[in-house]
A and B are shown apart, each in its own frame.
Chain A
């Protein structure tokens, strides 16, 4: 299986960006963006879909840190 070409990469990134824009608009409600999700999954290799999903989670977490600050999780039983 050969690596995606530049055109294929750009098509994948484009569909990813559309899907993410939809999620941003609907506060991460994936049910509202199903069509774009399918397009995204068809244009990108499976490994890349997983990778970009994780990346989205990370970017959202990073944004949360930047806006809300860091709140360490409550650890029961630890001093």
Chain B
């Protein structure tokens, strides 16, 4: 930095620097002049100060380059934020799918027998789409209606090429009267692949509980006949065994078929578990 005479301002320096200045004078003489403590401009000139009390730079980057740098920094920050957000979302989805997988295995379990007497568990239906209905064979009107609707929905889906088959399933809420033979007789009138399940009262109660089914046998008459009051729903289970949807009395067979088709379209298999069960 060139030596400056005391009366001219030194750019960039907030405070004066005092030092002794010696400059050559005619031979033999020296003169030391202390610098003044403040930078005052030479008389006549306006003070050059910025907001921070500093004198502004005379030259810097042009505006367009500064905008470019600012834009690049903003872009990088935005990209980082998006990637972090994406990562967080992926982690959340992975956690969710792990929860769903655990739920698919544990939820909605049943151990019953079909109308041929063969033991059937929920795991036996892994890999299949299932439409499940709880009812009883002595049902006056609701169960035949709902089973008719269920059968029709399955038929509609069968007619569409490229869709996986749907397994229609019936579980009784009246184990006392609905044994394998009774189920066989009753279900003959509906879809040919409709499978009926029954078991001991404890097994049937456990199955109903797993699906939050309400069932309450009414008073018996002198013939020992009674009607079981029960909740009316058709449940859709996915190939992982996960409960996906349910359809009440207001839904038609077409509504059900349409909904099942939509679920099939958006279905993504849950990840495999350690012992190799992957829903196949």
Contact = CB atoms under 8 A, between A and B. Distances in A.
Interface of A: 1-6, 9, 13, 44-48, 51-52
A46 B223 contact: yes
Contacts of A52: 140
A3 B226 CA distance: 11
12 contacts: A1-B223, A1-B225, A3-B137, A3-B186, A6-B144, A9-B144, A45-B223, A46-B223, A47-B138, A47-B225, A47-B226, A47-B227
B162 interface: no
A3 B140 contact: no
The 7 closest A-B pairs by CB, nearest first: A3-B137, A6-B189, A48-B140, A47-B225, A3-B138, A51-B140, A47-B227
B146 to A, nearest CB: 14
A51 B138 CA distance: 12
Q: Categorize the interface residue count of chain B.
A: 10 to 19
Given A3-B137, A13-B141, A46-B221, A51 B227 contact: yes
A22 B190 CA distance: 31
Contacts of B224: 1
B147 to A, nearest CB: 11
A5 B225 contact: no
A52 B141 CA distance: 9
B177 interface: yes
B139 to A, nearest CB: 8
B250 to A, nearest CB: 14
B215 interface: no
Contacts of B182: 2-3
A46 B226 CA distance: 9
B221 A47 contact: yes
B185 interface: yes
Contacts of A5: 185, 189
Interface in B199-233: 218, 221, 223-227
Contacts of A46: 221, 223, 225
